[in-house]
Amino acid sequence: MSANLINLLIEATLQTLYMVAISGALGTLFGLPIGVYLAVSQRGELLSSPWVNKVLGLIVNAARSVPFIILVVAIIPFTRMIAGTSIGTTAAIVPLTIAAVPFIARLVENAIREVDSGLIEAARAMGATPFQIIRKVLVPEALPGITLGLTLAVVSLIGYSAMVGAVGGEGLGDLGIRYGYQRFMPEVMLAVVVILIVLVQLVQSLGEGLARLVDKRAPRNRGR
Amino acid sequence: MADVQTSGAAITFDKLGKSFDKKGSGKVMALEDISLDVAPGTITGIIGRSGAGKSTLLRMVNGLEQPTAGTVTVAGHDVGRAGAAELRRIRRDVGMIFQHFNLLSSRTVYGNVALPLEIAGVPGAEIKRRVDDLIGRVGLEQFSNRYPAELSGGQKQRVGIARALATQPKVLLSDEATSALDPETTQTVLKLLADINRDLGLTILLITHEMAVVRDIASHVAVIDGGRIVEAGQTYDVFAAPQHPTTRSFLAGITGITLPSFIAGKLQAERPQGESQEVIRITFAGTHATDPMLAKLTSELGIPVNILAGAIEEIGPHPFGNLLVSVDATRGAEARAYLQRHELLTEVLGYVG
Ligand SMILES: Nc1ncnc2c1ncn2[C@@H]1O[C@H](COP(=O)(O)OP(=O)(O)OP(=O)(O)O)[C@@H](O)[C@H]1O
Ligand SMILES: [Mg+2]
């Protein structure tokens, strides 16, 4: 493989990492509070408001049912408005983020709902406000679950990021299609697939390691 | 403000009622017409069968449940009518401990005890001082940096107790706090609660389904059945002269009060024809508990007495004895009259042929 191709691969890897990192971070920024709200606004919960919950749930479901490639094309005007252009790697972050937000919201919601209701009761009995309960009880207690959820989301984003070539987003997926498929260079395709596999493995191991680190539920042998 | 003047009681239940909407239609009456004064500094046991309404009653004291009738007043505050902010203030004066401890798995012992103080907005240095002090009080100095998953059940409940005391409450609510613990650990936790009650003058309201727990630490007891208080009073009096069948069935679990099965099986309510024995429960109270009354019965009246079961225990500072005996049925009335003259309580349980 020529030095030129290796440079292309490195560049594409960095572009993928850039898109995934930014859209993952933005997706968490918006998805986390939405997910928390989805969990606590259910009937009988901390901030019970079943109607808002239902509407928000519908929007989240709708966003999640649009196939990603259609989402990318459908929101081109919105992308242009936000990113100033609808073409390129930075522009691709917009649809990636929009796909990540509802996904992360649902994962966070599930993690929060796993928290033992006895803990909420204990915090209420201490005189905690709903916001204090969220900040000091629900989120810290759900952190192992949230960490695993975010790992899953980042892995999915790596997959999605391969499709943004359609709007001129670059990265590994785009490189694989342009060189590996259109110019018929199977070694590029193979290299791209190997890098993606390694990336996903790294993210998965890192996420699981982090989740274990923040999970204090199981007693562990601390080197004793 | 929803302030009400009360008769100096720490907690007052006044015709309190609670109904829940049933799924589908209709209502479940969980509690009805509950009236009870809990004096400051006492330990009151609330005992009843599963579903009797004990937890619901306790949860209304700190507003986790809203009454649907009547009022509950804590230190002059009408809890049911308190607004959100006032309710949070009341809750800082009312600590609570739970059957399953409800500790945060993500926080260490220290962090768990600090939580109510963080919530109350106590400054950091003050939190450290108070938490260290509390952890010492419950004897967990070496465990300060451990996570709950690394503790035994008894240690977890100690953390729960330290946490409940963090905001220096006047009232402590305990919902089956020892039900998940083995008998030995139960004793140490009950002892801790009794010490706290004595040292801090805390009023404790304690739910249990075991009379032994009531006997060991409660000065007062209320028996709940089907959502109503069927019997209430000083533990000693209730033990000495239980009035309601539910109370009696709870007391039957305590040593010396159950009939041996070979007699229980033959027991009949009516006195049979011919020769028979009358089975009598004698309750020894106060100083008489140590008097040799049965010996006197035999020597003074010439009535032989068979002892079937019995035990002498202590309720608070008082000795308390319970004996099951049988005497010749023809002389039963005479024997009971004699015992009653000497201030012993008697009760005919039945006859055996
Ligand atoms: N949130 C609720 N919704 C509907 N019914 C309820 C609710 N909470 C309690 N109940 C009902 O109220 C009654 C009393 O329940 P409660 O939990 O107070 O009983 P308990 O005496 O504490 O029982 P246990 O010893 O099993 O804990 C029960 O019939 C129960 O089904
Ligand atoms: Mg209960």
Pocket test for ligand 1, best of B18, B19, B20 (most atoms within 8 A of CB): B20
Q: What three-state secondary structure class fits B76?
A: coil
Cβ of B149 and A123 within 8 Å?
no
Residue B219 and residue B278 in one domain: no
Strands B11-21 and B94-98, sheet pairing: unpaired
Question: Among partner residues A124, A126, A217, which is closest to B105 by beta-carbon distance?
Answer: A217
- Comparing CA positions, the residue from B119, B108, B64, B90 lying closest to residue A136 is B119
- The mean pLDDT of A78-101, rounded to a whole number, is 92
Cα separation, A69 vs A75, whole angstroms: 10
CA distance B95 to chain A (A): 7
Cα separation, B34 vs B200, whole angstroms: 28
The model's pLDDT over B46-98, given as tens digits with 9 standing for 90+, comes to 999 999 999 999 999 999 999 999 999 998 999 999 999 999 999 999 999 99
Q: Among all ligands shown, which has an atom nearest to the Cα of B20?
A: 1
Amino acid at B126: E
Cα separation, B310 vs B258, whole angstroms: 9
DSSP code per residue over B248-313: HHHHTTSTTSSPPHHHHTT-BSSPPSSS-EEEEEEEEEGGGGGS-HHHHHHHHH----EEEEEEEE
Q: Among all ligands shown, which has an atom nearest to the Cα of B46?
A: 1
Cβ of A127 and B89 within 8 Å?
yes
What is the model's pLDDT at position B291?
Answer: 60
Q: What three-state secondary structure class fits B43?
A: strand
What is the model's pLDDT at position B5?
Answer: 46
Cα separation, A117 vs B102, whole angstroms: 9
Q: What three-state secondary structure class fits B181?
A: coil
- Comparing CA positions, the residue from B259, B231, B265 lying closest to residue B326 is B259
Whether the CB-CB separation of B279 and B351 falls below 8 Å is answered with: yes
Q: Is the pLDDT of residue B334 over 80?
A: yes
- E strand intervals along chain B: 11-21, 27-38, 43-48, 69-74, 77-78, 94-98, 171-175, 203-208, 220-225, 228-234, 277-285, 306-315, 318-328, 345-352
pLDDT tier for residue B4 given thresholds of 50, 70 and 90: very low
Cα separation, B337 vs B285, whole angstroms: 16
**CATH of residue B348:** 3.30.70.260
The model's pLDDT over A124-178, given as tens digits with 9 standing for 90+, comes to 999 999 999 999 999 999 999 999 999 999 999 999 998 887 677 889 988 888 8
What is the model's pLDDT at position A224?
Answer: 41
Query: Which residue is listed with tokens 């007891």?
Result: B221
Q: What three-state secondary structure class fits B153?
A: helix
| Interface with chain B: mutation pick from A126, A143, A147, A217, highest number of B CBs within 10 Å | A126
pLDDT tier for residue B314 given thresholds of 50, 70 and 90: confident
- The mean pLDDT of B153-160, rounded to a whole number, is 97
What is the model's pLDDT at position A125?
Answer: 97
Question: Among partner residues B115, B147, B173, which is closest to A126 by beta-carbon distance?
Answer: B115
- Comparing CA positions, the residue from A157, A187, A149, A145 lying closest to residue A20 is A157
Residue B47 and residue B121 in one domain: yes
Nearest CA residue ID for atom 14, ligand 1: B53
Domain range for B316: 261-352
What is the model's pLDDT at position A213?
Answer: 94
Amino acid at B67: P
Cα separation, A77 vs A59, whole angstroms: 20
pLDDT tier for residue A220 given thresholds of 50, 70 and 90: low
CA distances from A219 to A215, B147, B152, B266, B347 (A): 10, 8, 11, 54, 54
Residue B245 and residue B265 in one domain: no
Helices (H) and strands (E) in chain B, counts: 12, 14
Residue B80 and residue B110 in one domain: yes
Q: Is the pLDDT of residue B351 over 60?
A: yes
List, in sequence order, the alpha helices (H) in chain A. 3-40, 50-65, 68-74, 76-83, 89-113, 117-125, 130-133, 139-161, 172-175, 186-214
Cα separation, B8 vs B75, whole angstroms: 8
Tell me whether residue B1 is in a domain.
no
- The mean pLDDT of B248-271, rounded to a whole number, is 78
CA distance B150 to chain A (A): 5
What is the model's pLDDT at position B257?
Answer: 64
| Angle ∠(B223,B229,B230) on CA atoms, nearest 5 | 70
Cα separation, B228 vs B213, whole angstroms: 21
The values of phi and psi at residue B140, to 5°, are: -120, 30
Residue B240 and residue B266 in one domain: no
Who wins on pLDDT, A222 or B175? B175
Who wins on pLDDT, B239 or B164? B164
pLDDT tier for residue B293 given thresholds of 50, 70 and 90: confident
Report percent pLDDT > 90 for chain B: 62
Residue B156 and residue B273 in one domain: no
Residue B292 and residue B216 in one domain: no
List of chain B residues whose C-beta atoms are within 8 Å of the C-beta of residue A216: 105-106, 147-149
- A216 reaches B (C-beta below 8 A): yes
The model's pLDDT over A93-125, given as tens digits with 9 standing for 90+, comes to 999 999 999 999 999 999 999 999 999 999 999
Cβ of B104 and A218 within 8 Å?
no
Q: Domain ends where: B233, B252, B271?
A: B252
To the nearest whole number, what is the mean pLDDT of chain B? 90
CB contact set of A9 (below 8 Å; sequence gap of 6+)? A172, A175, A188, A191, A192, A195
List of chain B residues whose C-beta atoms are within 8 Å of the C-beta of residue A121: 64, 98, 102
Give the number of domains in chain B: 2
C-beta atoms surrounding B343 within 10 Å: 13
Cα separation, B312 vs B315, whole angstroms: 10
pLDDT tier for residue B255 given thresholds of 50, 70 and 90: low
Residue B244 and residue B279 in one domain: no
C-beta atoms surrounding B127 within 10 Å: 19
Q: Domain ends where: B252, B276, B298?
A: B252
- The mean pLDDT of A63-77, rounded to a whole number, is 92
Who wins on pLDDT, B194 or B269? B194
What is the model's pLDDT at position A151?
Answer: 97
Ligand 1 geometric centre to CA of B173 (Å): 17
The β-bridge partners of B255 are none
- The mean pLDDT of B100-129, rounded to a whole number, is 97
pLDDT tier for residue B3 given thresholds of 50, 70 and 90: very low
Residue B135 and residue B48 in one domain: yes
- The encoded tokens of residue B320 equal 């308390």
Output Rg (C-alpha) for chain A, integer angstroms: 20
- The mean pLDDT of B98-112, rounded to a whole number, is 97
A133: nearest CA partner in chain B: B119
- Comparing CA positions, the residue from B209, B205, B208, B199 lying closest to residue B220 is B205
Residue B247 and residue B295 in one domain: no
**CATH of residue B51:** 3.40.50.300
What is the model's pLDDT at position B298?
Answer: 86
CATH of domain A3-214: 1.10.3720.10
Count of alpha carbons within 13 angstroms of residue A93, beta-carbon side: 21
Ligand 1 geometric centre to CA of B163 (Å): 25
- The mean pLDDT of A12-16, rounded to a whole number, is 94
Ligand 1 atom nearest to B65, measured from its CA: 1
pLDDT tier for residue B7 given thresholds of 50, 70 and 90: low
Residue B276 and residue B207 in one domain: no
Ligand 1 geometric centre to CA of B225 (Å): 12
Cα separation, A191 vs A87, whole angstroms: 25
Which helix or strand (DSSP H or E) is residue B200 part of?
helix B183-200
- A47 reaches B (C-beta below 8 A): no
Q: Is the pLDDT of residue B252 over 80?
A: no
User: Helices A3-40 and A186-214 sit at what angle, rounded to 10 degrees?
Assistant: 40
Nearest CA residue ID for atom 16, ligand 1: B53
Tell me whether residue B3 is in a domain.
no
What is the model's pLDDT at position B2?
Answer: 44
Residue B211 and residue B67 in one domain: yes
